[in-house]
């Protein structure tokens, strides 16, 4: 092989190695989404049955996202507090500390919370202000422990407690503007149709209901994470220009101030 061919072959190998290295360096890990909630989040469905919204969310978001599910049937906002005792989720299994189980899944880019259906139904029903306060405490703790953003989802239709649910929705919207890391997700009262998306008398959405929740939440998550990425990139680009400008200005001779007068820069 001639010297010229060897040089071309070497250059091609170097370019290939650089391209491979760039791919490794620039590869972005999937956006980690932790989905917390009660039996609706756990995937319980009314007839006609279908997969839960969390499983559907994985398919909708694709490989750029990692969706991790933690749902506990029968749980309320009280059960998810950092200082709450272990909870017995309806079904087989030992009691678990829900908050500690969630924290073990961190760090996370986004945590979604869908709670409130059981807060409306327990004998000592949770009033709207207490619901808001419990969500605030939970969200603050999650963020402090490694959740970058927290998305709050309003619970679905509850005919037997419509007035209290209306209060939940108002308090949740108020809460979403209290902290920069808090965001309102889908309002399931608006997303779901009480006739088409529930079996009569059942609080769990059916197949079409879970599909609608997954579609609405996927849209919100894409918009949120796209916004986060733009915020991450923009400051680094803006920071280069002033530094370059200062370097150029030092290369020019500075004008001497007239004697007896102070130069202002």
Q: How many domains does the chain have?
A: 1
The answer to whether position 160 is within a domain reads yes
CA distance 165 to 156: 9
pLDDT at residue number 17: 58
Residue 78: give its domain's CATH number.
3.40.50.1110
One pLDDT digit (tens) per residue for the chain, 265 residues: 677 666 666 666 666 655 554 444 456 899 999 999 999 999 999 999 999 999 999 999 999 999 999 999 999 999 999 999 999 897 677 899 999 999 999 999 999 999 999 999 888 889 999 999 999 999 999 999 999 999 999 999 866 688 899 999 999 999 999 999 999 999 999 999 999 999 998 999 999 999 999 999 999 999 999 975 433 333 333 333 344 444 444 444 444 544 444 434 3
CA distance 70 to 54: 9
The answer to whether position 49 is within a domain reads yes
The answer to whether position 96 is within a domain reads yes
The answer to whether position 58 is within a domain reads yes
pTM above 0.85, yes or no: no
Angle at which helices 128-144 and 162-176 cross, to 10°: 40
The answer to whether position 50 is within a domain reads yes
pLDDT at residue number 42: 97
The answer to whether position 14 is within a domain reads no
Instruction: Please give the residue range of the domain that contains residue 137.
Output: 29-228
The answer to whether position 243 is within a domain reads no
Measured between its terminal Cα atoms, the distance across the chain in Å is: 63
The answer to whether position 172 is within a domain reads yes
Nearest to 204 by CA among 94, 162, 213, 219: 213
């Amino acid at each position: 092989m001639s010297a010229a061919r060897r040089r071309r072959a070497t250059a091609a190998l170097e370019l290939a190695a650089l391209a491979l290295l760039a791919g490794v360096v620039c590869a972005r890990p999937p956006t980690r989404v932790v989905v917390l909630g009660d039996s609706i989040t756990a995937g319980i469905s009314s007839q006609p049955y279908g997969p839960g919204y969390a499983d559907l969310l994985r398919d909708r978001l694709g490989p750029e996202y990692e969706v991790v599910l933690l749902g506990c049937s029968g749980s309320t906002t009280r059960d998810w507090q950092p200082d709450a005792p272990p909870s017995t989720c309806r079904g087989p299994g030992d009691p678990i500390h829900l908050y500690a189980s969630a924290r073990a899944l961190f760090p996370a880019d986004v945590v979604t919370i869908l709670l409130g259906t059981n807060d409306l139904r327990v004998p000592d029903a949770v009033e709207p202000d207490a619901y808001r306060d419990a969500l605030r405490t939970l969200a603050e703790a999650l963020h402090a422990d490694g959740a970058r953003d927290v998305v709050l989802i309003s619970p679905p239709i509850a005919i037997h407690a419509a007035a209290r649910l209306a209060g939940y929705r108002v308090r949740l919207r108020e809460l979403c503007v209290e902290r920069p890391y808090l965001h309102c997700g889908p309002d399931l009262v608006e997303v779901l149709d009480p006739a088409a998306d529930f079996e009569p008398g059942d609080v769990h959405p059916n197949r079409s209901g879970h599909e609608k929740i997954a579609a609405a939440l996927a849209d919100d998550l894409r918009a949120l994470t796209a916004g986060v990425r733009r915020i991450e990139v923009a400051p680094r680009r803006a920071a280069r220009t002033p530094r370059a400008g200062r370097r150029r200005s030092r290369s020019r001779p500075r004008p001497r101030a007239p004697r007896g007068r102070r130069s202002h820069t």
